[in-house]
Amino acid sequence: AAMASPNVVSFSEKTFQQDVLGAAKPVLVDFWAEWCGPCKMIAPIIDELADEYQGRAVIGKVDVDSNQGLAVEYGITAIPTLLFFKGGAEVGERMSGEEIKRTAIKAQVEAMLSNHRSNASAMRRTGPACRRASSPCSMASGSYQTLESMGSNVKLTNIEISTAATMVRPNS
């Protein structure tokens, strides 16, 4: 197995505030766990992107087993789930399970980088509209708003998302 990239940061409850919310650069956070098969499958993509964006964006992981407080705080119902942060706020769209594709992740990181200097176009997450849990998969569906301000015009688009991924294992 290939070694994990040294550019992938490990975030914890102690460091999240400073390293993610307080970061000067855009941050991608991968919520994962050691026992989660799909998490292992996307690990090489995360490593690759961490190398590619070194110095421009921060790419890291949160182990949900040792940081359950963060998983609860951010409403992580399934893993792997990727969250994107910029300027202390969650932006863009979360990605879970099957949606996690290299090209999709790159597109969101590039969007964060291109908006980095100006906030003319900001993507704000409005949060999950509802949560349905069914075994063995957990379904999370959220409604996201993309805010695009063009001069004085503000354009609002609602994008419905429905994801299926590995259910976060309850505390045993």
What residues are labeled active site? 36, 39
Residue carrying structure tokens 């050691």 = 34
Q: Which residues of 133-161 are buried (b: 16+ CB within 10 A; e: fewer)?
A: eeeeebbbebebebeeeeeeeeeeeeeeb
**What is the full DSSP assignment across 3-71?**
PPPTTEEEE-TTTHIIIIIT-SS-EEEEEE-TT-HHHHHHHHHHHHHHHHTTTTSEEEEEETTT-HHHH
CA dist 165 and 137 (Å) reads 6
Residue carrying structure tokens 């855009």 = 26
CB atoms under 10 Å from CB of 35, counted, come to 11
Q: Is the peptide bond before 6 cis (omega within 30 degrees of 0)?
A: no
Tokens of 126: 């409005």
